[in-house]
């Protein structure tokens, strides 16, 4: 038989003390609507085009002698993670900041 410990009930005094310890921001964050599919396509295209151009310029001379499939594998192995994990999320943050500023 397994016994599960239940958390202790919080009192209103404990909750109020916890709220006082939390930092308060000057203004609540404004929610920015999610971008449309068309906006996401545009942002992704901008990120992919930029990343491909930079990678081609940077490592193009080093992989020029590789067979086309290996060259493509190397380049996409660098570009896809950069776009997915760095460029598109940062472009979405920039878009949100611009939209918040307009309000």
Query: Mean pLDDT across the stretch 7-18?
Result: 57
Residue 79, pLDDT score: 97
Residue 32, pLDDT score: 83
Neighbours of 43 (CB within 10 A): 19
Q: Over the stretch 50-88, which tens digit does the pLDDT of each residue have?
A: 999 999 999 999 999 999 999 999 999 999 999 999 999
Output 2-10 pairs: Cβ under 8 A, ≥24 positions apart: none
Residue 7, pLDDT > 80, answer no
Q: Is the pTM of this model over 0.75?
A: no
């Amino acid at each position: 038989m397994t016994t599960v410990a239940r958390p202790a009930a919080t009192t209103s005094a404990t909750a109020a003390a916890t709220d006082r310890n939390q930092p308060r921001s000057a203004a609540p964050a404004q929610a920015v609507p999610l971008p449309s599919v068309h906006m996401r396509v545009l942002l992704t295209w901008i990120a992919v085009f930029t990343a491909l151009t930079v990678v081609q310029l940077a490592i193009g001379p080093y992989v020029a002698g590789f067979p086309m499939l290996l060259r493509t594998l190397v380049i996409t192995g660098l570009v896809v993670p950069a776009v997915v994990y760095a460029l598109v999320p940062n472009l979405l943050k920039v878009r949100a900041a611009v939209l918040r500023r307009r309000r």
